[in-house]
Amino acid sequence: MAEHRDWGRTRLSEELCRIWNWRNDQGRIKDMAARTLLLKLERRGFIELPARQRPSSNEFRNRCVPVLDYASEPIRGSLSDLRPLSVKDVAPGSENLRMFNGLLAYHHYLGHRNTVGENLRYLVCDRHGRPVACALFGSAAWKCADRDAFLEWDRPTRERNLQWLTNNTRFLVLP
């Protein structure tokens, strides 16, 4: 931090991940975990982080997801008429992300605003490229007292096994 006073919090946490080779099972850096560590160190008085360069992304947590125009006519016919189906990975920043979020927000009974942590998103399209289904697999909450008690997990056990759980899962088959 002393060498790079112009770096913001994100850059610091990314560099920390690179130095420690702190990555998840998919090989992506654990940026948010590193940022959480830095914030804890600051709260305890061990370090002083630079001022925020932009507002916290958490302020967007409850934003409304816009519904985009797409082929909104109900899909009629048999599954064989739709084949072959394609399953597309919906990566962060991909062109399909806005459509995916909009479809879940508009059609899923729980709605959809955002995701937290690691997520896998898939968009299923028919032979004409029309979306017919969405699947979201989200990471489990870091701490959940009832779950941890039921599973008889202490902290080390939770840290070791949490990667195998999901709890923010949504499936949607479009009308």
Residue 94 belongs to some domain of the structure: yes
pLDDT in the model for residue 61 = 52
* 43 & 117 share domain: no
Range of the domain at 56: 9-60
Residue 13 falls inside a structural domain: yes
pLDDT score of 146? 86
* Domain identity same for 50 and 86: no
Residue 93 lies in a domain: yes
In a domain, 18, yes or no: yes
The verdict on 167 and 106 lying in the same domain is yes
Q: Please give the pLDDT value at position 17.
A: 92
Among 60, 88, 103, which residue terminates a domain? 60
CB atoms within 10 A of CB 136: 21
For residues 141 and 83, membership in a common domain is answered with: yes
Place of tokens 């028919």: 126
pLDDT of residue 68: 61
* Whole-number pLDDT of residue 133: 93
The answer to whether residues 103 and 165 belong to one domain is: yes
Q: Are residues 90 and 153 in the same domain?
A: yes
Q: What pLDDT does 90 receive?
A: 93
pLDDT of residue 135: 93
Contact 131, 125 (CB under 8 A): yes
- The confidence score (pLDDT) of residue 69 equals 61
Number of domains within the chain: 2
Residues 39 and 113 in one domain: no
Domain-located, residue 68: no
Residues 51 and 95 reside in one and the same domain: no
On whether residue 2 sits in a domain, the answer given is no
Q: What pLDDT score was predicted for residue 41?
A: 87
Q: Is residue 140 situated within a structural domain? A: yes
Q: Residue 108 has what pLDDT? A: 82
Assigned domain for 138 exists = yes
Q: In the chain, which residues have pLDDT < 70?
A: 55-72, 113, 116-117, 166-167
Can you list the positions of beta strands (E) in the chain? 86-89, 119-125, 131-139, 166-173
3-class secondary-structure state, position 34: helix
Closest by alpha carbon to 90, among 101, 81, 106? 101
